[in-house]
């Protein structure tokens, strides 16, 4: 079945998972430009995009706006990621089998286990790497893992 919705986690997937703080307490995140282009490639292919994360920051809101993500769900914990995906699917009138999701840690487990195509960066935690049929990407989080997954999907290799 064709993918109609692409979702991603942020920390550990779109970023390297590190938390950077300035002396004054400002938080910084490093995003990879290749992942931003991945969202454009998906848009051109007619695939909706979204970010679903347990964090809730203006940094992520700004990044989502810059890459023109169709959906942004922040602060999703304890099953909230799966619920967010189900809400988007209902709005788009699609099933979870038509969703691709990339995540890296145990708070992504439920959603990764429910979607049609699941992937994780090479540095994901062991429990995620052991999900049946998950695609283990070569790239680490923050190093273009989203782009790698998107290219697999768009080239029908996922």
Residues tagged in the binding site annotation for substrate: 11
Where is the binding site for Mg(2+), in residues? 9, 104
Distance of alpha carbon 137 from alpha carbon 80, whole angstroms: 25
Tokens of 156: 């029908």
Q: Which helix (H) or strand (E) holds 7?
A: strand 5-8
Beta bridge partners of 99: 5
Nearest alpha carbon to residue 38 among 61, 8, 18: 8
Average pLDDT, rounded, for the chain: 95
Average pLDDT over residues 90-107: 97
pLDDT-based confidence at 76, cuts 50/70/90? confident
Among 39-43, 77-81, 127-131, the least confident range: 77-81
- From the list 38, 68, 69, 42, the residue with the least C-alpha distance to 53 is 69
CA dihedral 82, 120, 72, 35 (to 10 degrees): -160
Select from 3.20.20.70, 3.40.50.150, 3.20.20.30, 3.40.50.1000 the CATH code of 5-92+104-154.
3.40.50.1000
Closest CA to 50 of 88, 18, 16, 106: 88
Q: How far is CA 95 from the centre of its chain?
A: 17
Domains of the chain by residue range: 5-92+104-154
Contact 146, 7 (CB under 8 A): no
pTM of the model: 0.95
What Cα–Cα distance (Å) separates residue 98 from each residue in 1, 19, 47, 93, 147? 6, 32, 10, 10, 19
* Binding residue ranges: 9, 11, 104
């Amino acid at each position: 079945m064709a993918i109609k919705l692409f979702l991603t986690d942020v920390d550990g997937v779109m970023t390297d998972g590190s938390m950077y703080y300035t002396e004054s307490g400002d938080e910084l995140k490093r995003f990879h430009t290749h992942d931003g282009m991945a969202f454009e490639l998906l848009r051109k292919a007619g695939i909706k995009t979204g970010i679903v994360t347990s964090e809730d920051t203006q940094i992520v809101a700004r990044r989502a706006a810059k890459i023109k993500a169709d959906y942004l769900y922040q602060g999703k914990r304890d099953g909230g990621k799966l619920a967010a995906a189900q809400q988007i699917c209902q709005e788009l009138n699609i099933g979870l089998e038509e969703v691709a999701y990339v995540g890296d840690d145990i708070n992504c487990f439920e959603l990764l286990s429910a979607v049609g195509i699941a992937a994780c960066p090479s540095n994901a935690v062991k429990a995620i790497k052991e999900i049946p049929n998950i695609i283990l990407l070569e790239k680490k989080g923050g190093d273009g893992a989203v782009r790698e997954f998107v290219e697999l999907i768009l080239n029908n290799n996922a």
